Amino acid sequence: MSSLGNIIKKEARELMTPTTFIPIILIAVMFGTLGNAFGNIEETMQEKPVIGLINADEGNFSANANLIIEGYSDVVFKSNDTLEKDKGLEELKEKEGIALLIIPSDFSEKILNNFPSEIEIYWIMKGAGILDSISSAVVEELIKIINTNISYELISTNATVNATIALNPTYRNETTYFKGRELKGVSPGDITNILSSQSTLIPIVMMMVIIMAGSTVISSMALEKENKTLETLLTLPVNRISIVAGKIISSAMIGLILAVIYMAGYSNFLGSFEISGQINLIDLGLYLSPSDFLLLGLSVFVTLIAALSFCMLLGTMAKNFKSAQTLTFPVTLLALIPMFITMFKDFDTLPAALKVLLFGIPFSHPMMAPRALIFDDYILVISGIIYVGIFAIFMIILAVWVFKTDRLLTGSVRRKKKGRSLFKLK
């Protein structure tokens, strides 16, 4: 074999290890699973939205609007009596509809008299994730088609029409029902926009904190082993809980400092894109109270401790600094999955299997908490804190146990089949 071939063979053998391939395979599986779970966006956009329609007008414009609505959507509730609004909303909720459109009795008449006419829309919003707003976007597109159609008709049949009315013959009067609240004057798109900074900022910051602080703990353990300082430390008069707690607390402190620096930079970055809106969040009740902030802080704190305890456990398996880098992968994966899910979907609109997965991943909870707290979903937040707290305690107990066993220094001892032993020391 040539020298080059010899080197290639040796390098390839070194690189072709399970630790090289498993992370990539897992990432591929993760994206595949998430893609399937989220469903096909294109399909969702092409699906007819389920809506209700109360058309109290008998004019031409509403008749045309009626035809467009029926052509492009699945109308599950129909009426010509505006007093049946509540009945319509009930029926829509049962049939998983997304909006009830009300065309008032003077709809056509007002337009003909050069006044913009109102279309009342009652939205039933299910989630505030980026993908959750696709259905409402389809209905909004429908309203635009109605508008364009009326404009075309006005211009082609009525030469004296006011230009402003010809371009904007209708206006929307919107009310959104979301998580038990009636939000007047806002559309699901508005709410998604309001919550989008949280949807992106908090999951990304949490992900960064977990990965940064987590890799600090794993590296610290790996360096103790690589620099051969661990053996000395373990023979000193210091109990194992102090060693574990010391490493977790110091990493948590560093992690929080890094998070503050990161958050300051990132919020500045996001702020540059923000356009000051006319929607008053306090009037809509879309804000966090001091007690909500307390719960959010608690959620972040227990999650950080849980993450670091988990990393400490992983760190005990590290042989050296190189292996520590591989061991940060599970942490990164567990931080990335909830980050992507919470950015794109609301917990309530997820399929059951994904809900279980998201709740089971301890790092998800502070990512979900802000939105849940805004909409008073305290059960999700408090149960999350309790779950993550139990997870953290379990991880700490497990890490302390590993510190008290030989495993920390000697690695694993496996038995081969047929009674042959395989002794593997770190």
Partner 1 sequence: MAVVEVNNLVKSYGPLEAVKGITFSINRGEIFGLIGPNGAGKTTTLRVLSTLLKISSGSIKIMDYDLEKEPDEVRKIISYLPEDAGAYKNLSGRRYLEFIANFFQEKNTQQMISRGMEIANLGERIDDKVDTYSKGMMRKLLVGRALMTEPKLAILDEPTSGLDVNNAQEIRRLVKSTARAGTTVLLSSHNMLEVEFMCDRIALISNGIIVEEGTPRDLMEKYNAKNIEEVFTKVVR
Q: Cα–Cα distance between 46 and 138 in angstroms, integer?
A: 8
Q: Contact region for partner 1 (CB under 8 A) — 198-206, 359-367, 378-386, 415-423? A: 415-423
Sole binder of partner 1 in the list 76, 134, 137, 234 (CB under 8 A): 234
CB of 215 to partner 1, least distance (A): 17
Q: For the segment 235-254, give every residue that binds partner 1 (CB under 8 A).
A: 235-239
b/e 175-207 (16+ beta carbons within 10 angstroms → b): bbbbbeeebeebbbbbbbbbbbebbbbbbbbbb
Q: Cα–Cα distance between 383 and 365 in angstroms, integer?
A: 9
Q: Contact region for partner 1 (CB under 8 A) — 122-130, 221-229, 317-325, 375-383? A: 221-229
Measured from the CB atom, the residue of 42 and 406 that comes closer to partner 1 is 406
Query: For residue 421, which amino acid is it?
Result: S
Torsion sign, CA atoms 352, 356, 359, 363: negative
Q: Cα–Cα distance between 403 and 240 in angstroms, integer?
A: 6
Q: Contact region for partner 1 (CB under 8 A) — 99-107, 232-240, 263-271, 325-333? A: 232-240
Q: Cα–Cα distance between 316 and 224 in angstroms, integer?
A: 10
Q: How many Cβ atoms from other residues are within 10 Å of residue 47's Cβ?
A: 15
For 348, the token pair is 């309530």
CB of 316 to partner 1, least distance (A): 14
Q: Cα–Cα distance between 315 and 326 in angstroms, integer?
A: 10
Query: Please, how many CA atoms are within 13 Å of residue 333, restricted to the half-sphere of its CB?
Result: 17
CB of 297 to partner 1, least distance (A): 32
CB of 257 to partner 1, least distance (A): 18
> Contact between 20 and partner 1 (CB under 8 A)?
no
CB of 222 to partner 1, least distance (A): 13
Q: Cα–Cα distance between 188 and 202 in angstroms, integer?
A: 21
Measured from the CB atom, the residue of 36 and 229 that comes closer to partner 1 is 229
Q: How many Cβ atoms from other residues are within 10 Å of residue 295's Cβ?
A: 20
For 133, the token pair is 């707003």
For 264, the token pair is 């300051």
Measured from the CB atom, the residue of 14 and 406 that comes closer to partner 1 is 406
CB of 412 to partner 1, least distance (A): 8
Sole binder of partner 1 in the list 232, 280, 289, 291 (CB under 8 A): 232
> Contact between 320 and partner 1 (CB under 8 A)?
no
Query: For residue 252, which amino acid is it?
Result: A
Closest CA to 177 of 269, 280, 289, 92: 92
> Contact between 229 and partner 1 (CB under 8 A)?
yes
Q: Cα–Cα distance between 126 and 304 in angstroms, integer?
A: 30
Measured from the CB atom, the residue of 56 and 234 that comes closer to partner 1 is 234
Q: Contact region for partner 1 (CB under 8 A) — 119-127, 234-242, 317-325, 336-344? A: 234-242
> Contact between 417 and partner 1 (CB under 8 A)?
no
Q: Contact region for partner 1 (CB under 8 A) — 2-10, 205-213, 231-239, 286-294? A: 231-239
Q: Is residue 349 within 8 Å of 368, Cβ to Cβ?
A: no
CB of 249 to partner 1, least distance (A): 16
Give the x/- contact pattern for partner 1 in 351-380, rule: CB under 8 A.
Answer: ------------------------------
For 275, the token pair is 């356009």
For 152, the token pair is 């075309």
Sole binder of partner 1 in the list 96, 141, 231, 283 (CB under 8 A): 231
Q: Which residues bind partner 1 (CB under 8 A)?
A: 227-229, 231-232, 234-239, 405-406, 409-410, 413-415, 421, 423, 425
